[in-house]
Amino acid sequence: MDFEEADILLVEDNPTDAELTMRALKRKNLANQVVWVKDGAEALDFIFATGQFAHRNVENFPKLILLDLRMPKVDGLEVLQKIKADDRTNKIPVVVLTSSQEDRDIVESYKLGVNSYVSKPVEFDDFIEAVSTLGFYWMLINNPP
């Protein structure tokens, strides 16, 4: 995989959810390059070209970040905070895609600058449809700065 060009950065610790998300995006031809990282620490390394991704050009940012909240090492809220606090990355659209429906997670995500907050549907078909709709909007309809 070419880590230089990522249309979408998927930050998800659950392999099943990651596979379903990538399948939904590819089924609709919404992203040529989806990079999957398994925790918040890997996400920050990818975004800021550090650690195992130090060889990346830090200026090649993903067009969209799909971010889970509940992850090992560094949780999604901390990742979101670091993305939105940095002038280089604060305009990247970040969509929280999580199983959490807790009000405090929703409120905190918006306080930190998330662009959208979506709770993962439990049913397979609903999950695929939600991800497809998200991808369609953020990759084809939305006009980024």
Question: What fold is seen in the domain 6-133?
Answer: Rossmann fold (3.40.50)
Low-confidence ranges of the chain (pLDDT < 50): 1
For residue 3, what pLDDT is reported? 57
- Answer whether 132's CB lies under 8 Å from 104's CB: no
For residue 140, what pLDDT is reported? 74
The pTM score is: 0.89
Residue the block writes with tokens 């992203």 = 31
- Answer whether 86's CB lies under 8 Å from 80's CB: no
Q: What is the pLDDT of residues 98-122, one digit of tens each?
A: 888 889 999 999 999 999 998 887 7
Domain coordinates of the chain in residue numbers? Answer: 6-133
